[in-house]
Amino acid sequence: MATRGKHVSKLDLLLMPLLACDQYGTRIGMGGGYYDRTLASAKHKPYRLGMAHQFQFIGHTLKRQSWDQPLDALLTPQHIYYFKR
């Protein structure tokens, strides 16, 4: 993972897939933890932008684990949501 972390540190923007996202930028990914592990080892964290359909932005709070890497923003066809880091 350290090698991947070095590469991701050079990025300014990272587009992240998701199944769902809440109002705090907590996302449910695809279940492998790849983005969370890769970002955890990065010295510089790129801007994390989730891309989703509007129905994937949910109205209740998701449980965030200590290793979860939240989004900075979420882009849907209807709206852009910005989250505090």
| Domain boundaries 2-82, CATH class | alpha beta
pLDDT beyond 50 at 1 = no
| pLDDT category of residue 42 using cuts at 50, 70 and 90 | confident
pLDDT beyond 80 at 2 = no
Residue 8, SS3 per DSSP: helix
Distance, CA of 28 to CA of 19 (rounded, Å): 5
Span 9-35, pLDDT tens digits = 889 999 999 999 999 999 999 888 888
pTM for this predicted structure? 0.85
Residue scoring higher pLDDT (85 or 6) = 85
Residue 37, SS3 per DSSP: helix
Q: At a CB cut-off of 8 Å and minimum separation 6, what does 70 contact?
A: 24, 25, 26, 27, 48, 64, 83, 85
Span 44-85, pLDDT tens digits = 889 999 999 999 999 899 999 999 999 999 999 999 999 987
- Sign of the CA dihedral with 17 first, then 22, 24, and 28 last: negative
Domain boundaries, the chain: 2-82
